[in-house]
Amino acid sequence: MRLQDLLDTYGQPELIEQLRRLQPADYDEFVDQLQKDLLYVIDLIEGDAKDFHDASEDELNREVVRLLRARSYTASHDHDEGGHVDIHVRSRDGRFSWLAEAKLDKGPAYLTSGVHQLSDRYARGTQDHNHGALIVYIQKNRCTERFATWRKHFSQLTADFEGLEVADCAFRQTLAFKSRYVLQRMGAAGPKYQVLHLAVSAFRPAGVAA
Amino acid sequence: MAKLGPQLHAVSLVTVADALGWGNDKDLRKAIVRALDQLTFGESSLLERHFLLWPGDQSSEVLEEPLAQISNLEMRRALETNQLVVNETGETVQDFLSRISVEYVVRNDVREQLRAHQVKQS
């Protein structure tokens, strides 16, 4: 079989992305590609929001994992990582990992517990394992305002998260932001743990049939 | 896969396409590529996909071995840049890429399972 058959099938840009997923050169590349793919996965879920407006966290997490697996990731739900983390992704060669806690938007206190779970129980925080995400499923209207409330609340948790820094995200505008803080397990001399906060709008307006 | 037996080693697009009578249809060939990739990278991985680099001059000699196996990372870099191309030869990226074939190989552990299954049945 010729290489051209693969290029005909996928096109060069998609084949390059597939190869990047299969063997990323380094952790930054792994995380960059994963975050890009995660945005695509979220886009798919939001496109089918009517199917997810009353879905449970587990159902939504399983869908995220299913869609990531379809893009060649080694992804699992409820993976045992010193407890059962919601979404665990590792590179196919096992060198790199990324974790996410994913919560329905039940208010800032509930979401804060998700970040604590991620940071205090699951995250290793060592090199090549120091990125994660908090995915917030919003099944109500006014998604951006709700997420802005979360960002404002989280930004003030400097007593909970040492050295906390919060920054805008280049993608998803008002529906994502980045944070970095010292992981207690690692201490201040270690790399800060980096958490991408992502809102997923799974709201079905009244009158739209499921 | 079990029907193919433990002697099964490599799966080529041509053999699958011919067996299905799809050899000349470009869209169906693409479907086979996606199916083979699913068997390679999907949840139940049965195959490995290898990129093989062959000599440039294949006009008269019978080829026995590829020159090298190219990793996914090297393959990507070749597609993104011309890093792998030896400038002294004057070979273009397209020339280089045309010397690469793709082979799907049954994973060793799967082959062992098939062999054990065969022995058990006989």
Residue in chain A lying closest to B102 (CA): A1
B44 CB near a chain A CB, below 8 Å? no
Reported confidence tier of residue B6, pLDDT bands at 50, 70, 90: very low
Residue in chain A lying closest to B54 (CA): A2
What confidence tens digit (pLDDT) does each residue in B32-66 have? Answer: 889 889 889 987 888 999 999 988 765 545 566 88
Check CB contact under 8 Å for B33 and A2: no
Q: Which of B71, B97, B103 sits opposite A23 (nearest CB)?
A: B71
Say if residue A97's pLDDT is above 70: yes
Looking at every residue in chain B, the average pLDDT score rounds to: 78
Give the span between the Cα atoms of B56 and A173, in whole angstroms. Answer: 50
Which is higher by pLDDT, A19 or B85? A19
* DSSP annotation string for chain A: -BHHHHHHHH-HHHHHHHHHHHS-SSHHHHHHHHHHHHHHHHHHHHHTHHHHTT--HHHHHHHHHHHHHTTT-EEEEEEESSSEEEEEEE-TTSS-EEEEEEEE---HHHHHHHHHIIIIII---STTS-EEEEEEEE-SS-HHHHHHHHHHHHHT-TTTSTT-EEEE-SSSGGGEEEEEE--TTT-TTSPPEEEEEEEEE----TT---
Looking at every residue in chain A, the average pLDDT score rounds to: 92
B12 CB near a chain A CB, below 8 Å? yes
Check CB contact under 8 Å for A1 and B13: yes
Binding-site residues on chain A for chain B (CB distance < 8 A): 1-6, 8-9, 12, 15-16, 19-20, 22-23, 25, 69, 72
Over range A160-187, report the average pLDDT: 94
Give the span between the Cα atoms of A201 and A141, in whole angstroms. Answer: 8
Reported confidence tier of residue B23, pLDDT bands at 50, 70, 90: low
Check CB contact under 8 Å for B98 and A3: yes
What confidence tens digit (pLDDT) does each residue in A146-172 have? Answer: 999 999 999 999 999 999 999 999 888
Q: Which of B42, B72, B103 sits opposite A1 (nearest CB)?
A: B103
Domains of chain B by residue range: 1-52+102-116, 66-100
Contact in structure between A63 and A52 (CB atoms under 8 Å) = yes
**Residue B62 structure tokens:** 């019978």
Q: Which of B41, B73, B103 sits opposite A72 (nearest CB)?
A: B41
Reported confidence tier of residue B94, pLDDT bands at 50, 70, 90: confident
B51 CB near a chain A CB, below 8 Å? yes
Give the span between the Cα atoms of B100 and B75, in whole angstroms. Answer: 9
Residue type, B19: A
Reported confidence tier of residue B122, pLDDT bands at 50, 70, 90: confident
Over range B72-99, report the average pLDDT: 77
Over range B75-103, report the average pLDDT: 77
Domains of chain A by residue range: 26-201
Check CB contact under 8 Å for B102 and A16: no
- A–B interface: beta-carbon pairs under 8 A: 55
- pLDDT for residue B64: 67
**Residue A100 structure tokens:** 């996410």
Choose from A192-206, B6-20, B53-67 the range with maximum mean pLDDT: A192-206
Residue B103's DSSP bridge partners are B50
Check CB contact under 8 Å for B73 and A8: no
Residue reference for tokens 């051209």: A4
What confidence tens digit (pLDDT) does each residue in A9-56 have? Answer: 999 999 999 999 999 999 999 999 999 999 999 999 999 888 898 999
Residues of chain A contacting B71 with CB distance shorter than 8 Å: 23
Check CB contact under 8 Å for B33 and A9: yes
What confidence tens digit (pLDDT) does each residue in A116-134 have? Answer: 999 999 998 899 999 999 9
